[in-house]
Structure 1
Amino acid sequence: MALKIKTREIQYKAADGTTLIGYFATPETDQVVPGVLVSPEWWGRNDYTEQRARELAEHGYAALALDMYGNKNVTTDAKQAYAWMMQTFEQSNTIVDRATAALNCLASQAEVDASQLGAIGFCYGGKVVLDLARSGAQLKAVATFHANLSAQTPAQVGQVQAEILVLHGAEDSMVSLDDVAKFKEEMFSAQVEHDVIVYEDAKHGFSNPLADERAQANGVDLGYNAEAEKKSLAAMYDLLDRNLKTAE
């Protein structure tokens, strides 16, 4: 049964001075609970990201949907999304700095057990949480959905603290199976505990019910797959429960 939850917006700042506005959801409980970052697709911190945060709260996690662009900027236009995303690539440290600010914000909330932290990310947001993990952040679990797997700085032995789960679509034209193979090589070389699950007939954006609408409006190769969504979320919750929920 889903837990009763509460939500609020939280303003925080990145190291570069950018004002960021996260969306926080947590169970209504007197006990501290594990915390999970939710990193959005390139559209920004939108309703979909906030929905995933609320679902995590209903499952017993405190979740912060982070803001990568500042002032919770959001769009449905792919050209604008691309422009905002590329701005975060201009300086090599921007992605990790902004993700670190969000992680620190999450850990500082009174409802959160700061020793039990994880992160999930979708598309561009998958890259964000992977780069955060590669930086040595104190994360125990990271799950990505149809993520950009490229590394700003490749993982080194002993650096990644998290168990990593990559959930990928076999028909993803934006992140190829060769990209997945290179990611696996990086993880093996860095001795990172990881798993990759590839879903048949699934395109980029498979977890988002609005993917087909966005694809049609923007002329990009996205596609929703309900079965892949269901299976990938179940795999994510299995990862989080194993790593973040301590035994009673």
Structure 2
Amino acid sequence: MCHSDLPPGQPAPDAVRREVDIPLSTGEVMPALHVAADPDAPGVLIIADMLGRSPFYENLAALLAAAGFQALLADVFFRQGPLPEPGAEAAIARRARLDENQSLDDLRAAVDWLARRSTGTAVGTIGFCMGGTFALDLTSTQDQLVTVSYYGFPEPPAWVVTPPPRPVDLVGSLRGPVLAFWGDQDTTVGMTSVERYAERAAAADPHFEHAVLPGLGHGFLGSSDLGDPSDPGSETWTRSVAHLRSHLHVG
């Protein structure tokens, strides 16, 4: 389903980690993990799935830091608190209490926080599942973003209580370099909506790229060996890092 543990065979690289607070327009602060090898490096915001912050995303933050970025893993569920127990049922119940439009505003504040701490003009975002949906919404509503989306929902599921804007409705305003991935067995997102979105995105933004991977379903990166170049999921991660490095001018 979503991502909690490290992918198999994946060592966690060393990196400088610190807990930070992101000031919000509401007067609140959103907690986040900041991981960086260079404090002036271009920033990349990691947007997690509905399980929220987990060892999987903490490891991705370290991998991004090792690749030359400063990574920020924000906790959009800080108002709802931690999951009372593992599993999809508890995650769905917590997500039902999440105002996802407010979450978009919170994530914009996180983008601004990174932009102020970077020497570049653009900020990267990389989102997964629910976070992939947020990433697609952000890149249709904000300038100076370099985007990677894994299995985002062009049309959020009907069971989401307070969904964000549907990315398919904002696709005409898509801007910036966007790289998106889905698996062709992803019945959770649905290939019909993916095809509709990708067709419209390609017409709206010449910098939109996507791939639909054969034989893979939802959440495939969570079971990929990122150290194995022959693993299809690993190849998408390599491509994602190259996309961010190219457009954020790293190395």
Q: 1:74 to 1:183 in 2, by over 3 A?
A: farther
The sequence identity of aligned pairs, in percent, is 24
Indicate the SS of the match to 2:136. Answer: helix
Of the candidates 229, 234, 237, which is equivalent to residue 233 of structure 1? Answer: 237
Match of 2:154 among 139, 145, 149: 149
Counterpart in 1 of 2:185? 171
Query: Matched residues in 1 for 2:60 and 2:119: separation?
Result: 20
Aligned pairs for 1:33-44 (under 5 A) are 33-44=41-52
The answer as to whether partners of 2:14 and 2:62 remain within 8 angstroms in 1 is no
Higher relative contact order (CA 8 A, sep 6+): 2
Report the Cα distance in structure 1 between the residues aligned to 2:213 and 2:123, rounded to whole angstroms. 27
Q: 1:191 to 1:181 in 2, by over 3 A?
A: same
**TM-score, normalised on structure 2?**
0.79
- What amino acid maps onto 2:245 in structure 1? D
2:129 pairs with 1:116: no
Give the CA deviation at 1:184.
1.5
Q: CA deviation at 1:117?
A: 1.1
Match of 1:132 in 2: 138
**Cα distance, 1:199 vs structure 2:** 1.1
- Residue 45 of structure 1 contacts residue 72 of structure 1 at CA under 8 Å; is this kept in 2? no
Q: In structure 1, what residue type is equivalent to 2:192? A: D
Report whether the alignment pairs 1:105 with 2:120.
no
* RMSD between aligned residues: 2.6
Deviations 1:40-83 (A, max 9, x none): 01101121111111100000011101111116944332122223
Give the aligned partner of residue 84 of structure 1. 94
Instruction: Decide whether the 8 Å contact of 1:143 with 1:166 is kept in 2.
Output: yes
Cα pair 1:35 1:61 within 8 Å, conserved: yes
Q: Which blocks of at least 5 consecutive residues in structure 2 are unaligned?
A: 1-11, 156-163, 225-229
Deviations 1:85-111 (A, max 9, x none): 333346xx31320110111222233xx
| Unaligned segments of structure 1, at least 5 residues | 211-225
Q: In the alignment, residue 180 of structure 2 is paired with which amino acid?
A: V
Please list, as runs of the form range in 1=range in 2, the aligned pairs for 1:1-248 lying within 5 A after superposition: 5-27=15-37, 29=38, 32-70=40-78, 73-75=81-83, 76-89=86-99, 93-109=101-117, 112-139=118-145, 141-150=146-155, 152=165, 154-155=169-170, 157=172, 159-191=173-205, 193-209=207-223, 227-245=231-249
